[in-house]
Amino acid sequence: MNNNAVTDAGPFFHGTKAELKIGKYLEPKHFSNYQDRKSNFIYFTASLDAAKWGAELAKSDLKERIYIVEPLGVFENDPNLTDKRFPGNPTRSYRSRSPLKIIAELGSWEGHTDEEIEHMKASLEKLRREGKDVMDD
C-alpha cells in the first residue's frame, strides 16, 4: 500500500453478481468480476452509481447485487480510474489489500438503462481491442 491512503468516510459499496453472505469478508486474491485472473486488491466505491456499474458489468448471468461494505484496513484511490479516466477521483473508487466486511445488501436500486449499459460495454470492448484495458493491479 502506498502513502496516498484516503480517509473517505463512506458509506462504501461493492457491486457484483455474486451472492455473498452478510458478515463474511471480501478479500483480495480471488477472481476478478471482470477479467479471468485473480486480483491483488479488493475494489469498492463510495459512489452508488459506480457500484451499479460494478454490478451491471460483472461477468455472470446471476442477479446484480450491491453490498454495503466496511473496509478493514488501509485503502487507496483506484489508479485504474483516478489516474487513467477520472482525475481527482469523482467516482470515489478505491482498492485495498485488506478485507472488506459485508454489512448488508442494498435491497433495491435503479440500474442504468439498457442503452447506457450497451454503450458502456461497447466502450470497454473498444478499449480491449486497442489494448488499453490494462489494469494496474
Q: What is the pLDDT of residues 54-87, one digit of tens each?
A: 899 888 888 999 999 999 999 998 887 665 666 7
- The residue with cell 485472473 is 37
Question: CB-based burial of residue 17 (10 Å sphere; 0-12 exposed, 13-18 middle, 19+ buried)?
Answer: middle
CB 95 within 8 A of CB 78: yes
Quick one: pLDDT at residue 59?
A: 82
pTM over 0.85: no
- The residue with cell 460483472 is 58
- The residue with cell 478485507 is 99
pLDDT band at 28 (very low <50, low <70, confident <90, very high): confident
Share of the chain above pLDDT 90, in %: 50
Domains, the chain, with CATH or none: 12-129 (3.20.170.40)
